[in-house]
Structure 1
Amino acid sequence: MIIRLEEENDVKEREQLLDAVMGPHRKRKSSEKLRRGRMPSAGLAFSGIANDGHLIGTVRLWDIELDHDEEGIRNALLLGPLAVSCSHHGSGVGSQLMRTAIRSAALLGHGAIILVGNPAYYGRFGFSNELTGKIAMPGPFERERFLALELTAEHLSGCSGIIRPNGRYRRAIKVANCVSKVALAS
């Protein structure tokens, strides 16, 4: 298996994988509100590809912003979803994707990663809910599953309020007269 940057031709297979792993209600989650209509953070969408060329894992990080006591706004990343095909659970694909995502985010100069997930799983990568006490997700979420990892010391210190999306918009496709498609630049 290899981990590489997500390619455009991975997207359809990625969506199928997410539906299979996370179920039909995955788009109703609070974290989806932060991703809707946005592109993943530049250079921070990864695919796990099996030796036969099929996608077996995926993770993306998204640009978000938080209120900050002194700076007004501080940027961070939202991780998710992380998904691995059921046939490859327990094979280390998820761990490899996580390590790649964390290392790449740090190399690109990001200060913190936030996610909603299993504390036992994500705790092995350094995530905890100790850093998320003054911040919140838009919509319902489980406080004990709201975790963060600082890539830069004290990056989340002084942050509070509800996380907001802050990233590139996806290019919209508009259908005119149900026949021709026109791409609109954001």
Structure 2
Amino acid sequence: MTASFPAPLPVLTLQSERRQDGPLVDALIARAFGPGRFTKVSERVREFATFAPEMSVCAWSGERLLGCARMWHVRVGGRPVMFLGPFAVELGERNAGFGARMITRACEFAAAAGETHVVLVGDEAYFGRVGFATAPGRAVVLPGPVDQRRVLVRALTPDAGELAGPVEPA
């Protein structure tokens, strides 16, 4: 009987998204979410938000893109904050911790740039591991229907305070 060992994890390089990465990132997002992504409230936000490539993260193994976490400038109740998404990992690379590492790095980039909060729409069971929690009540109001339990916020500084209000252009 031969023992089977899991394949070693690829060496991962996390870096800000560069202009030339755009087509590969777009293709990864299309594979991960399909055309249904265009109906989501997060897409409504991205229609008016300002892309922040310097805070967005790409995960590379050599020349192969394994994942991405995009960040966008918006305002909530008049306060400048970051909106995270889409976030995607190649199907064969999921459950290896890449996603949490990318999100953590994106939040580090945002904190280093002086941002106070990151907002996203997602599953608290997953994103809670990297510091996100449900926005209380309907404090953060997105531009369309959304399950408020999926509106999550991460404060990037201890004195960031609570967010409240509509998500609007930066």
Give the TM-score band, short-chain normalised. 0.7 to 0.9
2:81 to 76, 97, 115: 76
2: distance between equivalents of 1:44 and 1:86?
A: 23
The letter for the 2-side match of 1:5 is S
- Provide the identity percentage: 28
Aligned pairs, number: 159
1: distance between equivalents of 2:138 and 2:159?
A: 14
1:15 to 5, 15, 26: 26
Deviation at 1:155, TM superposition (A): 2.9
Residue deviations 1:108-146 (CA, integer Å, cap 9, x gap): 110001100011110011111144642211101111111
**1:160 match:** 164
2:120 to 115, 118, 122: 115
Residue deviations 1:159-182 (CA, integer Å, cap 9, x gap): 43321121xxxxxxxxxxxxxxxx
RMSD: 1.7
* Partner SS, residue 56 of structure 1: strand
1: distance between equivalents of 2:144 and 2:116?
A: 24
1:54 aligns with 2:54: no
Segments of 5+ residues of structure 2 without an aligned counterpart are: 1-11
2: distance between equivalents of 1:132 and 1:155?
A: 18
**1:99 match:** 104
> Which of the pair is proportionally richer in helix?
2
Q: TM-score, normalised by structure 1?
A: 0.79
Q: TM-score, normalised by structure 2?
A: 0.86
Q: Is the 8 A contact 1:132 1:148 kept in 2?
A: no
* Partner SS, residue 33 of structure 1: helix
Q: Is the 8 A contact 2:44 2:143 kept in 1?
A: yes
Alignment CA distance shift 1:26-1:130 (3 Å): closer
Alignment CA distance shift 1:37-1:61 (3 Å): same
Alignment CA distance shift 1:156-1:25 (3 Å): farther
Segments of 5+ residues of structure 1 without an aligned counterpart are: 68-72, 167-186
